[in-house]
Chain A
Amino acid sequence: MQKKLVVFLTLLLVVSVFSVVGAQEVTNPDTFVEVNMGTIDSLDPHFQYDSASAEIIDNVYENLIKFNEGDITDFMPHLATEVPTEENGLIRENGTVYEFPIREGVTFQNGDPLTPEDVKYSFLRALIQDRDGGPVWMIYEPLFQKGSLADVVTEVLGEEKSPSDLTAAESEEVYAYLEKAVEVDGNSVVFHLPKAFPPFLSIIAQGNGLGAIVDKEWSVEQGDWDGQPDSIAEYTNPTKEDDPLFDKMNGTGPYELVEWVNGEEVILNRNDDYWREPAPIKKVIIRMIDEWSTRKLMLQRGDADIVYVDKQYMSQVENMDGVEVITGLPNIYMGAGLMNFNIVTEGNPDVHSGKLDGNGIPSNFFSDIDVRKGFLYSMNYEAFINDVLNGDGQKGRGPIPEPLLGYDENSPTYELDLEKAEEHFKKAFDGELWEKGFEITILYNSGNDVRKSAVDMLKYYVEQINPKFKVNVRGIQWATYLDKLIANKFTLGFIAWGADYADPHNFVVPFLGSDGTYGGFKGKDYINFAKENIDPLIDEGISSTDPAKREEIYKELQQIAYDQALDFYLYQPSAQVVMRDWVEGWYYDPIRDPGQYFYSLDK
């Protein structure tokens, strides 16, 4: 009797479990599921600087203007009622004044009305917060021709001082300086720039959380900056744990945050009181799943509407039933190889002997233009694009990617040419290099197969040129790679840069500028060269409002990068999207990529 009862109960459990399966097969057209990977860094629009966070912010917060369905040359009004132009008089005084009339009748998700004061607060909050390694440098440049709050403090006080050490009186002085740049004028917000800065609209457009508008009253209630001039020290450069908006959101956007479980999922609900028509999809679930097989099966079963697919797995989804794959989308991105002009040789095994003796390389190995050209002619660019990227990308023609100003599809580039490589290696170091040979180790960060393939190719071709040339390839953890970059101990390293905003300035500065993110790591010889030959052109390019003149300047910078053989501009990859074929309304936005704008989607 007891046994029969156990068997009966077990059967009942099994039947019940699978009866739930049946109920679950009913798909819900009101819910959109995106399956992605990685983690979200922060939900604070002024703190975040990663694409996973930006996607959430882009759907909850809004900016003054936005791109017209991904067209980076066409702006649309958003929380502003008009896009400033010289024609409508909202850009004035030789491109140094921008006026944005603020839309009325817009409310934040908690019901607070949007006011010009919120807009001013948002920009000043970003300027004051300016966390180390964060995105706020992007608006310091147009608004103050500076890189950070620390630079402003130095200018205002006449001495270097950490913003977090400011006294109340000093804070007021610094605040007065900042406040001059953002002014409320009736129902408009007016920005005052010291000099014309053509990419300004691009920088503050939707897609860049930096220009997102937060609710002043609500933010203060959460414990954020109180809006007072004397409290900069208290609110600047917070850590995530000290940032009140790290995990809370209240925007004017089409979706509101319901829940964020970091590393697991984000749930967004439609904002039914949205100032435009409410979004077609009621609920959005963004799930973070690092395992590719799981993501693939969810797509296959229709449990995911859109999934993130790494390039190497694209062939697995290309012929999947009910799945739409779009490839070849223009990605504003540059994968490049940096050559270090002054390698730190002390305690650095990658330079081997550290001398030009056939058993290593000297510190200034890449200062010799013939060495750089020798390496540049030893890369099989075509095979790299076709075999490593499976044809999903194009060769770079300089630091500026397509379609930005200054990109020219007919500009000269390096090709694989071992004869020319030999010619240059023979000239390097007055022939001594050819005679003695060298040994170098090139590093890549483990797990990055694209970079490994690039380095392997270089080794293959360079070693063919002269039996005395030896190239070692070594994969190291990201932590060690980072250490090598910062300590100037890398020899030749592959890295990449994706657009923060759609302007060539955002590429020439990091790659070529003497204090650019990457330029700054290339050693003192390069920095001296850049100060003299590159920086003046960069300054000229960014302060001109004439697009034709700017184009010429950026073309000249591309030409210098080619003539001086400054870096490997290896590839500009294409983007791709993989989604169920029932998804409607999707469009590509190269600045937003790989995030989605759920407002436009339906299914």
Chain B
Amino acid sequence: MISYIIRRFLILPVILLGVSLLIFSMIMMLGPYQRLSTYITDPAQLKGAEDIDQLVTKYGLDDPWYEQYGRWISGVAQGDFGWSESAGAPVTRAIADRFPATIELALLSLIPVIFGGIILGVVSAVHHNKIIDHTIRIFAVIGWSFPSFVFGLLVLMIFYGVLGWLPPGRLSNWATEIVRSAEFVNYTGLYILDGILNLDFSIVLDAIRHMIAPVITISILWWAFILRITRSNMLETLKKDYIRTARAKGLADNIVVYKHAVRNALIPVVTVAGQMVLGLAGGLVIVESIFNIRGLGQFMANSAQQLDYPGVLGGALYFGFLLILINLFVDVSYAVIDPRIRLE
């Protein structure tokens, strides 16, 4: 298995290079004046044709594509991923600044989504066509078909606008002041974890309070997704001969379901969960916008909209790296869940 993992890591730079070339060439298909929109975002910033051409020259927008790519890739080789105009910061800093918020949200969302989805899926399958199954299925359909921007706004309006319980942002003003003070050590940028490590539980609680609404919004969608997949796989597994045999042997129902059936039904769920983790860790533009969380989703969307190619490429590399890492994790998980699978 270790050699498999090493091989996957070795192939990583080749894939990332390919991804960057592909994206770069797509951006280069636009003319230099179109790409100038990265720097001129409003008509009032236009000032005579002379200045415009100077800007094109200054940022090398009319250089041959291979020169522009060469500049970028040689910077990358030295750890400089370029300047993101849309973020107003170096790409590495733009990603590093937003990474903790995205990961904190992703990790917190995973807990209710995966465990809630799997448990409800199993319960639904076990009580196939009974009232509890129907209820869960209706819940799943509603959750799956509810657009996140509608549900998110409803959550915000009720729990913040009316009740005032769950405000937007990652922390309250007073907590932000503490977190940015010299006394508070930012170990990870994940406020809940940093609060624990600093033994400041008011920060932990405040961070949790701010995360509840976005986590609920994300969960309601993905919960339903995982639930449906778990349910259908469980139903299939429960019909298998070895389950019937286990029951015939007189094993308790709980043991049959949770020890024998669930484990086998989980493989497709792991695959889907992997994609879900990727989606969450890549950032969620809508949830981030509604709940004012400065995450990677907004960064990538803004970069693309503004044709900010260092930002787009930086985001793509991050995403590519994540994709490979998560796929690897999923592959390894297969082997753990099902010992018959061997990674070569």
Contacts and interface: CB of A to CB of B under 8 A. Distances in A.
B292 A291 contact: yes
Nearest to A18: B165
Contacts, number: 145
B64 interface: no
Interface in A184-206: none
Contact of A517 (B48, B55, B167): B48
B254 interface: no
Contact of B88 (A41, A147, A482, A483): A41
A348 to B, nearest CB: 13
A132 B34 contact: no
Interface string A34-53: 00000111100000011000
B46 A485 contact: yes
B88 A240 contact: yes
A261 B294 contact: yes
Contacts of A241: 83, 90
B43 A496 contact: yes
**Which of A40, A148, A241, A259 lies at the interface centre, i.e. has the most chain B CB atoms within 10 A of its CB?**
A241
B35 interface: yes
Contacts of A293: 153, 156-157, 290
Contacts of A518: 43, 46
Contacts of B168: 289, 294, 297-298
Nearest to B54: A132
A520 B168 CA distance: 46
B295 to A, nearest CB: 11
A113 interface: no
B194 interface: no
Contacts of B173: 28, 31, 33, 285
B55 A132 contact: yes
A515 B51 CA distance: 11
A239 B86 CA distance: 14
Contacts of B307: 479
Interface in A289-303: 289-291, 293-294, 297-298, 300-301, 303
A17 B36 contact: no
B180 A297 contact: no
A73 interface: no
B54 A263 contact: no
Interface string B1-45: 000000000000000000000000000001101111101111111
B160 interface: yes
A133 B55 contact: yes
Interface in B154-174: 156-157, 160-161, 164-165, 167-169, 172-174
Interface in A119-145: 132-133, 137
B40 A133 contact: yes
Nearest to A445: B43
B49 interface: yes
A477 B83 CA distance: 23
A263 B300 CA distance: 13
Nearest to A520: B48
Contact of A486 (B49, B88, B97, B289): B49
B87 interface: yes
A483 B83 contact: no
A16 B54 CA distance: 59
A17 B37 contact: no
A263 B87 contact: yes
A301 to B, nearest CB: 6
Given A20-B202, A237-B58, A294 B292 contact: yes
Interface in A224-245: 237, 239-241
10 contacts: A20-B206, A240-B83, A261-B294, A262-B88, A263-B294, A287-B292, A289-B168, A293-B157, A479-B30, A486-B49
